[in-house]
Amino acid sequence: MSQSTQKQAYLWLLRQIRPAWQWLLTSMGLGLLNGVLLIVQASIMAVMIHQLVMEGATRAMLTEDFFRVLMLVVARGACTWGREFCGFRAGACVRVDVRKLLLDKLRRLGPPVIAERPGGSWSAIAVEQVEELQEFIAKYLPQMALAVMVPAIMLVVVIPQSWVVGIIFLVTAPLIPVFMLLVGMKAAQANRKNFQALSRLGGFFLDRLQGLATLKLFARTRFAQTQLANASEDFRIKTMEVLRLAFLSATVLEFFASVSIALVAVFLGMSFLGHITFGGEVTLYTGLFLLLLAPEYYQPLRELGTYYHAKAKAVGAAEEILDVLSQKESEAHCGKLSLPEARPLTLEVRELSVSANIRSAGPASAEASESKFPLLLDHLSFRIEPGTRVGIIGSSGAGKTTLINTLMGFWNYQGEIKIAGQSLADTRLDSWRIAIAWLGQQPLIIHGSVYDNIAFGREVSPEQCLDALARAQGMDILTNLPNGLDSLLKEQGGNLSVGQAQRVALARALVLPVRFLILDEPTASLDSASECLVLDALNALADDCTVITITHRISQLKTMDQILMLEKGRLVADGSPATLARESALYQQFIMNSGSLEDE
Residues numbered 215 to 244 that lie near other proteins (CB under 8 A) are: 215-221, 223-225, 228-229, 232-233, 235-236, 239-240, 243-244
Q: In terms of C-beta density within 10 A (0-12 exposed, 13-18 middle, 19 or more buried), how is residue 456 classed?
A: middle
Q: How far is the CB of 214 from other proteins (least distance, A)?
A: 4
* 283 belongs to the binding site for other proteins (CB under 8 A): yes
3 state DSSP class of 337: strand
Determine which residue in the list 9, 24, 39, 45 makes contact with other proteins, applying CB under 8 A.
Answer: 45
Determine which residue in the list 254, 426, 486, 536 makes contact with other proteins, applying CB under 8 A.
Answer: 254
Query: Closest Cα to residue 65, out of 89, 41, 83?
Result: 41
Backbone torsions φ then ψ of 377, nearest 5 degrees: -130, 135
Q: How far is the CB of 136 from other proteins (least distance, A)?
A: 15
Determine which residue in the list 174, 177, 202, 280 makes contact with other proteins, applying CB under 8 A.
Answer: 202
Determine which residue in the list 25, 29, 84, 157 makes contact with other proteins, applying CB under 8 A.
Answer: 84
Residue 401: count of CB within 10 angstroms of its CB? 20
3 state DSSP class of 449: strand
Query: Closest Cα to residue 507, out of 559, 448, 452?
Result: 452
Q: Which stretch binds other proteins (CB under 8 A): 174-182, 262-270, 367-375, 568-576?
A: 262-270
Per rule CB under 8 A, count of chain residues that contact other proteins: 145
Cα angle 86-88-94, degrees, rounded to a multiple of 5: 105
Q: Which stretch binds other proteins (CB under 8 A): 290-298, 320-328, 367-375, 540-548?
A: 290-298
| CB 444, CB 119: distance < 8 Å | no
What would the x/- binding string for other proteins be over residues 515 to 554, using CB under 8 A? -----------xxx-------------------------x
3 state DSSP class of 352: strand
Looking at the Cβ atoms of 148 and 248, the one nearer to other proteins is 248
Question: Which residues within the stretch 436-455 sit at the binding site for other proteins (CB under 8 A)?
Answer: 436-438, 440, 444, 446-447
Residue 202: count of CB within 10 angstroms of its CB? 10
Report the C-alpha gap between 281 and 268 in whole angstroms. 10
Looking at the Cβ atoms of 11 and 206, the one nearer to other proteins is 206
Torsion of CA 50, 51, 53, 55, to 10 degrees: 120
Q: How far is the CB of 325 from other proteins (least distance, A)?
A: 15
Distances from the Cα of 475 to the Cα of 63, 341, 440, 484, angstroms = 81, 32, 21, 10
* 178 belongs to the binding site for other proteins (CB under 8 A): no
Question: Which residues within the stretch 136-175 sit at the binding site for other proteins (CB under 8 A)?
Answer: 138
Determine which residue in the list 1, 11, 14, 73 makes contact with other proteins, applying CB under 8 A.
Answer: 73
Determine which residue in the list 7, 18, 59, 383 makes contact with other proteins, applying CB under 8 A.
Answer: 59
Indicate the residue type of 480: N
Strand 436-439 relative to strand 488-489: parallel, antiparallel, unpaired? unpaired
Question: Which residues within the stretch 474-503 sit at the binding site for other proteins (CB under 8 A)?
Answer: 480-482, 491-492, 494-495
Looking at the Cβ atoms of 77 and 381, the one nearer to other proteins is 77
Q: How far is the CB of 30 from other proteins (least distance, A)?
A: 11
Looking at the Cβ atoms of 126 and 380, the one nearer to other proteins is 126
* 597 belongs to the binding site for other proteins (CB under 8 A): yes
| CB 565, CB 586: distance < 8 Å | yes
Q: How far is the CB of 11 from other proteins (least distance, A)?
A: 26
Looking at the Cβ atoms of 225 and 381, the one nearer to other proteins is 225
* 72 belongs to the binding site for other proteins (CB under 8 A): yes
Question: Which residues within the stretch 340-399 sit at the binding site for other proteins (CB under 8 A)?
Answer: 395
* 78 belongs to the binding site for other proteins (CB under 8 A): yes
**Spacing of C-alpha 425 from chain mean position:** 32
Determine which residue in the list 28, 158, 268, 560 makes contact with other proteins, applying CB under 8 A.
Answer: 268
* 419 belongs to the binding site for other proteins (CB under 8 A): no
Q: How far is the CB of 218 from other proteins (least distance, A)?
A: 5
Query: Closest Cα to residue 520, out of 582, 456, 441?
Result: 441
Alpha helices in 274-325 (DSSP H): 284-306, 308-325
3 state DSSP class of 382: strand
| Burial profile 571-590: b = 16 or more Cβ within 10 angstroms, e = fewer | bbbbbebeebeeebeebeeb
Q: What is the Cα gyration radius of the chain?
A: 35
Looking at the Cβ atoms of 10 and 131, the one nearer to other proteins is 131
354 beta partners: 377
